[in-house]
């Protein structure tokens, strides 16, 4: 199964946090293969407290013989291994944030894991790196490709 994973960090050595997060994930998940990795972008915080440090964000795609809930549990374990507390305020600064964006064509309304990610289409910091690796990807319940969703978020020129 193919999985899209967004990574973000805005505490400590942000680039190292992302590098270590990928490394730990690949070491933790049996049989996982990294199939694509987007460039890393520095982005302004969204819906965070004033004065919050900028994020580094990227997206990777992996292939694994795991169920979505199993991979999600591994993502949470990697976050905690890199210092992110399990209980935290929403949108608080973080050493590493790992979000499961999609799992092939799986649609899930489970409160613990909604797929595709419910805010993916609203987040430039997710869509840009995802478009770098999978511009033509069409996810269930979304009408446009990733590139199309990104274009809808781009500021309109001349206005």
Helix (H, G, I), strand (E, B) or coil at 7: strand
Alpha-carbon span 26 to 7, nearest angstrom: 14
Tens-place pLDDT, residues 37-71: 999 999 988 777 777 889 999 999 999 999 999 99
Tens-place pLDDT, residues 104-153: 999 999 999 999 999 999 999 999 999 999 999 999 988 899 999 999 98
The domain locations on the chain are: 2-153
Say yes or no to pLDDT of 158 above 50. no
Fold of 2-153: Alpha-Beta Plaits (3.30.70)
DSSP class of 120: G
- Residue 88: pLDDT band (50, 70, 90) is low
């Amino acid at each position: 199964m193919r999985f899209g994973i967004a990574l973000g960090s805005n505490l400590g050595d942000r680039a190292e946090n992302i590098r270590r997060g990928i490394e730990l994930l690949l070491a933790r998940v049996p049989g996982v293969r990294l199939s694509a990795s987007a460039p890393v972008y520095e982005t302004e915080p969204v819906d965070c407290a004033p004065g919050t440090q900028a994020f580094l964000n990227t997206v990777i795609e992996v292939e694994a013989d795991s169920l979505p809930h199993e991979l999600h549990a591994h993502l949470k374990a990697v976050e905690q291994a890199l210092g992110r507390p399990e209980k935290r305020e929403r949108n608080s600064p973080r050493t590493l944030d790992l979000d499961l964006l999609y799992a092939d064509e799986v649609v899930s309304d489970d409160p613990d894991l909604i797929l595709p990610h419910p805010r993916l289409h609203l987040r430039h910091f997710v869509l840009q790196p995802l478009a770098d690796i999978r511009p033509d990807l069409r996810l269930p319940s979304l009408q446009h490709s990733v590139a199309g969703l990104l274009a809808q978020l781009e500021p309109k020129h001349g206005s």
